Amino acid sequence: MTASKAESITPIESLESQLVTRLSNTLESYLDAPHIAQCLRAYEFGASAHKGQFRKSGEPYICHPIAVAISLAEIRMDADGITAAILHDVVEDTQISKQEIAMQFNDEVAELVDGVTKLSKIENQSHAQAQAENVRKMFLAMAKDLRVIIVKLADRLHNMETLGVMQPPKKRRIAKETLDIYAPIANRLGMNSIRHKLERLSFEAMYPYRYAVLNHAIKKARGNRRKIIDTIENTIRARLEQASFPCEVVGREKNIYSIYKKMVKKKIPLADVFDVYAFRIYCDDVDGCYRILGMMHNLYKPVPGRFKDYIALPKENGYQSLHSVLIGPYGVPIEVQIRTHEMHRMSESGIAAHWLYKSETDTDKTRNFQALANEWLKDLLEIQKSAGDSLEFIDNLKVDLFPQEVFVFTPNGSIIKLPRGSTIVDFAYAVHTDLGNACVSARIDKQLIPLQTQLESGVTVEIITAEHARPNPLWLNYVVTARARTAIRNRLKHIEEKEALGLGRRLLENELLALNVQLADIDEERIATLLKMMGLKSFDKLLEDIGLGNKMPLLVAKQLTQADVNTHVKLDDDSSKSQNRPLMIKGTEGMVVTLAKCCRPIPGDAIIGFFNPGKGIVVHQHDCHNHALIKKKNNSWLDVAWGDDAKGDFQTEIRIQILNQRGSLATVAATISNLDSNIENVTVVDQDARICTDSIILTAQNRVHLAQIMRRLKELSIVLKITRVKG
């Protein structure tokens, strides 16, 4: 009987004492006297701290933590875990501090309580940000001690069971958070029993009318199905008894929330969901599971492609079972799950099995569950270190909490598990971060394929790397794992900082050169004074800010060379432009020098640069339509020129009028390709029965190369007019 049921039949004035008695009786079944005394002392301490506090339903507040402690005692949680459960709201809701709990009990209990305690409210934070910060804090505490999440899940479960007194908007908000975060965490830790309860209670709170209608329909349908279920169950039992195979056969009913999700996802009525009859078969060992599977496939025909072996390839949360869909009597589909008794206990309790079964069964499985949980938490810790803020961390967390796995192989035969929809890039980062950062292509079963290819189970993936390769920002559009997404962002940020640092140094040296000063000759004390005045921690940070366009290099140069470095320098229109040689553009500067897409400059064009704060320098053609407008609006511009060593494939745009006849565009494309150029994009601008005007973005090495391409295209009889687009 759950704590909520006990409350419903007990008068409020005697509820507290009855809950304490029930807790004591449960603890006596597995704890020794000193540990029981510690738990009861925690109750007295908590009752005193919460004195005068009441829940919205009217009962003393201490009843809630006692109910949480009872549910943990039922899974045989240790004494410190029970103590922390009783005290889990003391720091948050009373004047008691973490230090006082450590003095009264021990440091371990204090850390557990602190892990479950929400952060104090921070001003100017949205509710979503505050919740995200609290979840992030909880995961950091989980990494130190898994009992934190066990206590939190028990706390959330009791809150959901007693949600009835809340206002509907708050009910829905709490229920949504439970479905988004806590139910998936319970699933990720293999605690299916708690997950199903949280899902059912959340569904009821969010959609009370849908829940009531669906629940009534399920109960009504259940009576009509009973005869078929009994027939199938008896047939399965008879077949197993005939083979002298002692097993337990149970007709399984789908969780109401799972039924609802399936109806919504597949847009089907209840009758189509409820026509699958589900059964579980429990046996003593793994060998027996496979033998029973053979008997079931012999008894009823299996449906092709509907068999899953989670024993050989367990789920991420450690879940193990054989799943098969068969065609039963009357043509009805039957879903059979076959597992050992131990696998079933683990599937219900997950990580909590560490406490529940450690004295009764072999602990190898529970240790395996803990290892899986710790590995997951380790990955999350890496992600949270690189996450920009708590909301980004929550987004990454949700990716990991809703996996549908695929299993792929490395060339040496190792199995890598990934969420469904994962790409080659996800696979590379799952193997190793350095492999992901350096990947340029891949082979699936020895066939070359693009990096955005989605993986399917059973394939062998070989990653091809290059020494100077680096992540492409476009990868963020198709990777699905939090690990890959975080690693790409982290690497790109590092590359941008490195490139900004180099560009900032070049810009500052250019400006100092115009003032007849070498950067190496500037006194370190003068630099330190300027950094202090600007509130920067290092000279590298100043150079980085210059490279990103956050600080003007001429202003910094003048501050470093004037008599008093603290004097404010103002740039007028005449002095804002550098008086020395222009900054040379090579075209390989990376992320901090961008070629404007409005005019697409290429080597040989007269160019000018603009500082775009936070992004670096944007290079335009001198006669770009946007040039005058940008120059008029701000004076953050500088002279730039193409370096003699500028090389590469630069994108440029041409507009071409051709005869609208079959094969015209193919002829144009072939001509461009024969001149060592590549078409990046083609857009039809205008078209009639006779003439078609196309905009083509292609690559050119410089103006000479582009002139060759345009001259060759003009020679084609189908080309009527060709111009270059400059903004």
- The amino acid that residue 213 corresponds to is V
pLDDT band at 10 (very low <50, low <70, confident <90, very high): very low
* Same-domain status, 166 and 259: no
SS3 43: helix
Q: Are 679 and 697 in contact (CB under 8 A)?
A: yes
End-to-end CA distance of the chain, in Å? Answer: 74
Q: Can you give the pLDDT at residue 690?
A: 86
Whether 447 is in a domain gets the answer no
* Same-domain status, 598 and 574: yes
The CATH number assigned to the domain holding 49 equals 1.10.3210.10
Strands, E assignment, 21-106: none
Q: Can you give the pLDDT at residue 114?
A: 83
Q: Can you give the pLDDT at residue 6?
A: 41
175-190 tens-digit pLDDT: 888 887 788 778 777 7
d(Cα 262, Cα 266) in Å, to the nearest integer?
Answer: 6
* Same-domain status, 338 and 230: yes
Nearest to 511 by CA among 472, 479, 556: 556
* H or E segment to which residue 480 belongs: none
The CATH number assigned to the domain holding 269 equals 3.30.460.10
- The label of the residue with tokens 């961008």 reads 594
* Same-domain status, 41 and 151: yes
Whether 216 is in a domain gets the answer yes
Task: Give me the domain span that covers residue 291.
Answer: 210-350
* Same-domain status, 143 and 171: yes
* Same-domain status, 298 and 340: yes
Q: Does 122 have pLDDT greater than 80? A: no
* Same-domain status, 529 and 672: no
Whether 80 is in a domain gets the answer yes
* Same-domain status, 689 and 550: no
81-98 tens-digit pLDDT: 899 899 988 888 888 888
Whether 603 is in a domain gets the answer yes
Whether 312 is in a domain gets the answer yes
379 has catalytic annotation: no
Whether 308 is in a domain gets the answer yes
* Same-domain status, 191 and 258: no
Q: Which one from 74, 78, 92, 348 is the annotated catalytic residue?
A: 92
* Same-domain status, 592 and 710: no
276-286 tens-digit pLDDT: 678 999 998 88
pLDDT band at 267 (very low <50, low <70, confident <90, very high): confident
111 has catalytic annotation: no
Nearest to 81 by CA among 26, 147, 32: 147
Q: Does 547 have pLDDT greater than 90? A: no
317-360 tens-digit pLDDT: 678 899 998 988 877 888 899 999 888 877 776 665 555 555 44
Percent of the chain with pLDDT strictly greater than 90: 12
* Same-domain status, 624 and 704: no
- The label of the residue with tokens 């708590």 reads 390
Whether 15 is in a domain gets the answer yes
* Same-domain status, 235 and 96: no
Q: Can you give the pLDDT at residue 574?
A: 44
Computed over every residue of the chain, the mean pLDDT equals: 78
d(Cα 469, Cα 450) in Å, to the nearest integer?
Answer: 15
Q: Are 154 and 72 in contact (CB under 8 A)?
A: yes
Q: CB within 8 A of 534, min separation 6: which ones? A: 542, 551
The count of residues in the chain is 727
Q: CB within 8 A of 223, min separation 6: which ones? A: none
Whether 97 is in a domain gets the answer yes
Boundary-marking domain end, from 185, 209, 233: 209
The pTM assigned to this predicted structure is 0.54
Boundary-marking domain end, from 162, 182, 209: 209
d(Cα 18, Cα 554) in Å, to the nearest integer?
Answer: 77
Q: Which one from 7, 13, 78, 93 is the annotated catalytic residue?
A: 93
Q: Can you give the pLDDT at residue 373?
A: 56
d(Cα 551, Cα 481) in Å, to the nearest integer?
Answer: 36
Boundary-marking domain end, from 315, 350, 385: 350
Nearest to 533 by CA among 564, 499, 503: 564
Give me the number of domains the chain comprises: 4
